[in-house]
């Protein structure tokens, strides 16, 4: 801040070329408009819908799928010598449809989130009262220029950055900018020393902050992007959007799958070429490419998008707006939540919590139940009459502390407007920062009575009497000592203490200056911006889920620590760091202590960014929550930014990934739960798809090497991948959430999508491969010698079907026909076995508890039954089964082979049976026969948890005693 702008009025007029009394002339305004432009915040670039759509199409996994679609067209053309039929385009059409569905879903979700965010805009204050050409007039705030003289009053937003030149009892709520919960007293006096801390610039009014009380005149010193809020908005717009952890993992996964499919294609083609007939190279190429495509999870992109889309719809009902689909999963992986205090953990509403009454500390709720005697009557009159705040419906104008007083009085039955109408104000002494008191004189039932409120230490110096238990007596030094000690105890708990007194001798006073002397002490209140009741529970849920919650606030350390203790966030001053200490630490020093600090107090916006950056450097997935302009840079910097929808500024919403429409910290934890379940569902789908695909490729590769011909056709594999697999994988994302996931600690640092999937993949690949190969050989048992001779058109042939498949002199087309029975039973196994075991692929926290909570996924059961029905239809529809899928014709079934299909179904049940048996053995061993090392670890963990419970109980008991 330029020192001249903080100094005297003549220097201010000279620098800004203005006249504080008369304002700017019309000519000066037009000239300055050309020089400075409009007083508007910089807007972020709005990406049009078609660019969002095109951007989704160039994501790695979709590019691979489009490449697979092209190959599925080119391969048949090569194998058929340039001839191609319309049916060859079916595979490409299905793959491209999946690509388009995914792109459309993500585009629609992004646009919907943008519309929802626009609907939440709340800080639109377009008018300002200015003095121009020596006349007062109202103009659009966007028309303001440096040098304009602006008239300010309570209940208005500051339209630009102003240097205050006249003020009367001016307080401004700067929580949106600085994070400080209490309004700041402002002055028009020049500042002797410059400061970089915004909250200490006492003669500057910042754009978009709110006037809670008083009146003032200010001169515009900065507009638009040059203001503090403008600088923040500009920095947000210049930030490059980072990809989410899920996007990075999916991209890495795509490269891995692409490389694997390429290697498999070369390996399979080489193996078939050298083990079979060289003349059939085109067929081998087709098989190799088909199997390579078979590894690629064509449905995965759609599974991810649909699963995320379903979750975003659920979260809208839970008051969460997701601006980007992948942000759901990121929220699930968060292990540090950095949150603003005011309005997020607290109610952003000062509330009377304690009373000093009759030389005792009382709970405000208990005092409200007491009998309304003369003492209470006078005290309540003091609350509402010595007060300038106004509440009417949803409109609340005034200082938050004064609003808290009338709110409390209203609970007991005193309405401030009715009271002021009955007991009219006839005189007053406004609040003064030197006196630290305010006095009003009201006509109470014909008697002019003075009511005074102020700092308790100042007020006690002016009191000669005290009212205790409804009895008036002289106040003693001992009384004052006890009252001050009580006040100090409340202050240690971060309560703001305000004392009240009265006297009846107004008419006898010779000098108004004597109005605040010879007072009768009535009592005092302790006020605080209380924590949300739901926030306490939410913090506990976060801790149970292994998530650290860090409070970052502009408030003083004492206030912040008191709130942190109530939330069970921090318990000692060693867990609190102020901005002064933070400024003294270099980046290396901060990294060493960053994870031990639970409260950061008195911070500026740049401090928040530094804190988030340090946590990210330590490998943490970090979320930042907030509502103010001061939160916007850190919201943008965090892995996941969460803005408040009700109290949040437009800048904060613009910088965030997620918006809470109820401003409730507990909603974030619901989002974490949803995010963890989304990630788990996606991992289940990946385990299922990759496991099944690799099992199919492995079984086909083994049988191809043994028999020198592929046991399945390309259409069989594509049916499996695009029909059966897709139906089941999509249904995996539609099931109910698993609450046990909120008991698992998030994995710190980078971790692959395959982390924790090794055992699941092993089971799927092993048992499915065995079942597939077994089903093939079971089917080939039905190949008779007579049928073999008919296919080979050789009545003298005495070899087995296996010898015929290995014979290089036999045409590939004949070998394919020979394998009809084996192909049919193997087709049943590979398409039906996944339908049976899809419901057993659980990645829930079964290690945490011996009790198993079975979660039934109804959509998955229905999808599995649908897939089995489709398989049956495919097997028995004439023409489709033999012409397209190359399965056994219906006419070939007879009394000797009628159990071919039932037998194949029985083999398809083997994988799920063996998986359940293996899971049961592992579960029983883990819980009932743990190894010595893990048994000792369990005992140690139980002791630690017991100590934590005892410590919490001790703190609660101590808190009750203090109360």
Q: Which two tokens stand for residue 184?
A: 């700041």
For residues 106, 110, 111 and 113, what is the CA-based torsion angle, rounded to 10 degrees? 130
Measured in residues, the chain has a length of: 963
Among residues 720, 812, 713, 823, the alpha carbon closest in space to that of 779 is found at 823
Task: State residue 878's pLDDT score.
Answer: 85
Residue listed under structure tokens 């990934």: 657
H or E element in which residue 528 lies: strand 519-528
Task: State residue 958's pLDDT score.
Answer: 58
Q: Judge whether residue 124 has pLDDT over 50.
A: no
Task: State residue 614's pLDDT score.
Answer: 93
DSSP 8-state secondary structure symbol assigned to residue 784: -
Q: Judge whether residue 73 has pLDDT over 60.
A: yes
Q: Judge whether residue 190 has pLDDT over 70.
A: yes
Q: Beta strand pairing status for 336-340 and 622-626?
A: parallel
Contact yes or no for 534/420 (Cβ under 8 A): no
Mean pLDDT over all residues of the chain? 81
User: Over the stretch 226-275, which tens digit does the pLDDT of each residue have?
Assistant: 888 777 777 666 555 556 666 677 777 777 777 777 787 788 778 777 76
Task: State residue 501's pLDDT score.
Answer: 95
DSSP 8-state secondary structure symbol assigned to residue 723: I
DSSP 8-state secondary structure symbol assigned to residue 741: G
Q: Among 15-24, 34-43, 607-616, where is mean pLDDT lowest?
A: 34-43
User: Residue range 42-47: average pLDDT?
Assistant: 65
Q: pLDDT tier at 658 (50, 70, 90 boundaries)?
A: confident
Q: Judge whether residue 334 has pLDDT over 50.
A: yes
Distance CA 799, CA 699 (A): 25
For the ranges 588-597, 736-745, 879-888, the maximum mean pLDDT occurs at 588-597
Task: State residue 121's pLDDT score.
Answer: 44
Q: Judge whether residue 671 has pLDDT over 60.
A: yes
Among residues 483, 600, 476, the alpha carbon closest in space to that of 179 is found at 600
Q: Judge whether residue 696 has pLDDT over 60.
A: yes
Contact yes or no for 92/292 (Cβ under 8 A): no
Q: Which residues pair with 641 in a beta bridge?
A: 624
Catalytic residues: 340
Distance CA 342, CA 344 (A): 6
User: Residue range 419-440: average pLDDT?
Assistant: 86
Q: Judge whether residue 129 has pLDDT over 70.
A: yes
Within a 10 A sphere around the Cβ of 200, how many other Cβ atoms? 14
Task: State residue 1's pLDDT score.
Answer: 45
Distance CA 510, CA 518 (A): 14
Q: pLDDT tier at 517 (50, 70, 90 boundaries)?
A: confident
User: Over the stretch 764-815, which tens digit does the pLDDT of each residue have?
Assistant: 999 999 999 999 999 999 988 888 888 888 877 888 888 888 887 787 778 8
Residue 536 makes CB contacts below 8 A (sequence gap 6+) with 566, 567, 568
What is the reported pTM? 0.70
Q: Judge whether residue 210 has pLDDT over 70.
A: yes
Distance CA 567, CA 540 (A): 8
Q: Which two tokens stand for residue 929?
A: 């026969």
H or E element in which residue 1 lies: none
Helix axes 665-707, 300-317, angle to 10 degrees: 160
User: Over the stretch 457-479, which tens digit does the pLDDT of each residue have?
Assistant: 999 999 999 999 889 999 999 99
For residues 718, 721, 723 and 728, what is the CA-based torsion angle, rounded to 10 degrees? 170
How far does Cα 846 stand from its chain's mean position? 26
The three-point CA angle 545-551-556 to 5° equals 160
Distance CA 41, CA 655 (A): 14
Task: State residue 303's pLDDT score.
Answer: 76
Task: State residue 777's pLDDT score.
Answer: 94
Q: Judge whether residue 319 has pLDDT over 80.
A: yes
Task: State residue 903's pLDDT score.
Answer: 93
Contact yes or no for 787/675 (Cβ under 8 A): no
Q: Judge whether residue 46 has pLDDT over 60.
A: yes
* Residue 629 or 895, more confident: 895
Q: Among 361-370, 553-562, 625-634, 953-962, where is mean pLDDT lowest?
A: 953-962
Q: Judge whether residue 120 has pLDDT over 50.
A: no
User: Residue range 742-755: average pLDDT?
Assistant: 72
Name the 3-class secondary structure at 375.
Answer: helix
% of the chain at pLDDT higher than 90:
20
* Residue 142 or 182, more confident: 142
Q: Judge whether residue 17 has pLDDT over 90.
A: no
Q: Judge whether residue 83 has pLDDT over 80.
A: no
* Residue 963 or 135, more confident: 135
User: Residue range 932-957: average pLDDT?
Assistant: 67
Cα-only R_g, the chain: 38
Q: Which two tokens stand for residue 554?
A: 């502009």
Among residues 680, 673, 689, the alpha carbon closest in space to that of 753 is found at 680
* Residue 854 or 826, more confident: 826
* Residue 304 or 579, more confident: 579
Contact yes or no for 439/386 (Cβ under 8 A): yes
Q: Judge whether residue 110 has pLDDT over 70.
A: no
Task: State residue 13's pLDDT score.
Answer: 81
Q: Among 70-74, 130-134, 339-343, 671-675, where is mean pLDDT lowest?
A: 70-74
Distance CA 804, CA 276 (A): 12
User: Residue range 95-118: average pLDDT?
Assistant: 67
Q: Among 44-53, 621-630, 643-652, 941-950, where is mean pLDDT lowest?
A: 941-950
Task: State residue 68's pLDDT score.
Answer: 67
Q: Which residues pair with 519 in a beta bridge?
A: 463
User: Residue range 753-767: average pLDDT?
Assistant: 85
Task: State residue 123's pLDDT score.
Answer: 39
Q: Which two tokens stand for residue 487?
A: 């006040």
Sign of CA dihedral 946, 951, 955, 960: positive
């Amino acid at each position: 801040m330029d020192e001249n702008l903080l100094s005297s009025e003549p220097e201010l007029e000279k620098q800004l070329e203005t006249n504080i009394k008369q304002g700017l002339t019309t000519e000066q305004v037009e000239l300055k408009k050309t020089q400075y432009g409009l007083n508007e915040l910089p807007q972020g670039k709005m990406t049009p819908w078609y660019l969002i759509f095109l951007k989704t199409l160039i994501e790695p996994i979709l590019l691979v799928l489009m490449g697979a679609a092209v190959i599925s067209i080119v391969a048949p053309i090569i194998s058929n010598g340039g001839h191609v039929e319309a049916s060859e385009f079916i595979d490409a059409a299905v793959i491209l449809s999946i690509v388009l569905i995914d792109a459309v879903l993500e585009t629609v979700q992004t646009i919907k989130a943008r519309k929802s965010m626009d609907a939440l805009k709340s800080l639109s204050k377009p008018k300002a009262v200015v003095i121009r050409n020596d006349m007062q007039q109202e103009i659009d705030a966007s028309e303001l220029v440096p040098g304009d003289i602006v008239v300010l009053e309570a209940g208005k937003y500051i339209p630009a950055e102003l240097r205050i030149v006249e003020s009367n009892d001016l307080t401004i709520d700067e929580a949106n900018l600085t994070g400080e919960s209490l309004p700041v007293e402002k002055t028009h006096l020049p500042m002797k020393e410059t400061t970089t801390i915004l909250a200490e610039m006492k003669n500057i009014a910042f754009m978009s902050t709110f006037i809670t009380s008083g009146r003032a005149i200010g001169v515009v010193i900065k507009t638009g992007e040059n203001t503090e809020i403008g600088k923040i908005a500009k920095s947000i717009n210049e930030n490059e959007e980072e990809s989410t952890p899920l996007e990075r993992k999916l991209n890495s996964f795509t490269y891995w799958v692409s490389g694997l499919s390429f290697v498999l294609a070369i390996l399979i083609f080489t193996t078939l070429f050298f083990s079979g007939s060289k003349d059939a190279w085109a067929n081998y190429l087709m098989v190799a490419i088909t199997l390579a495509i078979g590894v690629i999870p064509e449905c995965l992109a759609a599974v991810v998008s649909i699963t995320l889309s379903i979750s975003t719809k659920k979260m809208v009902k839970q008051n969460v707006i997701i601006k980007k689909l992948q942000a759901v999963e990121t929220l699930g992986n968060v292990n540090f939540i950095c949150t603003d205090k005011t309005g997020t953990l607290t109610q952003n509403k000062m509330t009377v919590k304690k009373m000093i009454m009759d030389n005792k500390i009382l709970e405000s709720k208990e005092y409200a139940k007491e009998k309304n005697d003369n003492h209470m009557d006078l005290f309540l009159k003091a609350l509402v009459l010595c007060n300038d705040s106004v509440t009417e419906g949803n409109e609340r104008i005034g200082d938050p502390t004064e609003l808290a007083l009338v709110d409390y009085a209203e609970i007991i039955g005193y309405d401030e407007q009715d009271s002021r109408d009955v007991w009219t104000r006839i005189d007053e002494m406004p609040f003064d920062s030197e006196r630290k008191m305010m006095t009003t004189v009201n006509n109470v039932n014909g008697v002019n009575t003075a009511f005074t409120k102020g700092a308790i230490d100042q007020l006690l110096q002016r009191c000669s009497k005290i009212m205790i238990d409804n009895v008036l007596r002289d106040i003693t030094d001992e009384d004052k000592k006890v009252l001050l000690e009580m006040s100090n105890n409340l202050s240690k708990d971060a309560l703001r203490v305000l004392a009240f007194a009265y006297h009846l001798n107004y008419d006898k006073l010779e000098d108004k200056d004597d109005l605040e002397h010879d007072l009768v002490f009535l009592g005092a209140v302790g006020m605080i911006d209380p924590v949300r009741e739901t926030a306490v529970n939410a913090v506990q849920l976060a801790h149970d889920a292994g998530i650290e919650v860090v409070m970052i606030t502009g408030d003083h350390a004492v206030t912040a620590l008191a709130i942190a203790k109530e939330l069970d966030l921090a318990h000692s001053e060693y867990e609190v760091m102020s901005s002064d200490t933070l400024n003294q630490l270099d980046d290396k020093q901060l990294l060493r202590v960053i994870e031990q600090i639970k409260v950061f107090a008195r911070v500026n916006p740049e401090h928040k960014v530094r804190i988030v950056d340090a946590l990210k450097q330590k490998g943490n997935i970090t979320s930042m929550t907030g509502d103010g302009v001061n939160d916007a840079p850190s919201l943008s910097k965090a892995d996941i930014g969460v803005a408040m929808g009700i109290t949040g500024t437009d800048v904060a919403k613009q910088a965030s990934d997620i918006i809470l429409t109820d401003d409730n910290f507990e909603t974030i934890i619901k989002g974490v739960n949803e995010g963890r379940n989304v990630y788990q569902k996606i991992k289940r789908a990946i385990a299922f798809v990759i496991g099944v695909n690799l099992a199919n490729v492995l079984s086909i590769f083994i049988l191809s090497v043994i028999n020198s011909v592929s046991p399945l056709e390309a259409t069989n594999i594509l049916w499996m991948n695009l029909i059966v697999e897709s139906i089941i994988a999509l249904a995996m994302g539609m099931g109910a959430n698993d609450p046990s996931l909120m008991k698992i600690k998030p994995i710190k640092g980078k971790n692959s999508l395959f982390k924790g999937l090794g055992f699941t993949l092993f089971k799927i690949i092993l048992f499915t491969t065995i079942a597939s190969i077994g089903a093939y050989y079971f089917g080939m048992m039905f190949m008779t010698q007579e049928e073999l001779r008919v296919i080979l058109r050789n009545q003298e042939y005495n070899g087995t079907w296996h010898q015929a498949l290995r014979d290089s002199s036999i045409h590939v087309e004949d070998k394919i026909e020979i394998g009809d029975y084996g192909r049919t039973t193997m087709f049943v196994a590979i398409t039906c076995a996944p339908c049976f075991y899809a419901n057993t692929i659980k990645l829930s926290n079964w290690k945490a508890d011996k009790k198993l909570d079975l979660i039934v996924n109804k959509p998955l059961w229905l999808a599995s039954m649908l897939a089995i029905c489709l398989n049956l239809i495919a097997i028995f529809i004439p023409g489709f089964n033999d012409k397209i899928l190359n399965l056994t014709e219906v006419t070939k079934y007879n009394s000797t082979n009628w159990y071919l299909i039932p037998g194949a179904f029985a083999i398809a049940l083997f994988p799920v049976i063996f998986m359940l048996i293996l899971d049961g053995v592992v579960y029983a061993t883990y819980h009932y026969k743990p190894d010595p090392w893990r048994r000792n670890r369990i005992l140690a963990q139980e002791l630690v948890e017991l100590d934590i419970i005892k410590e919490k109980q001790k703190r609660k008991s101590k808190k009750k005693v203090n109360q």
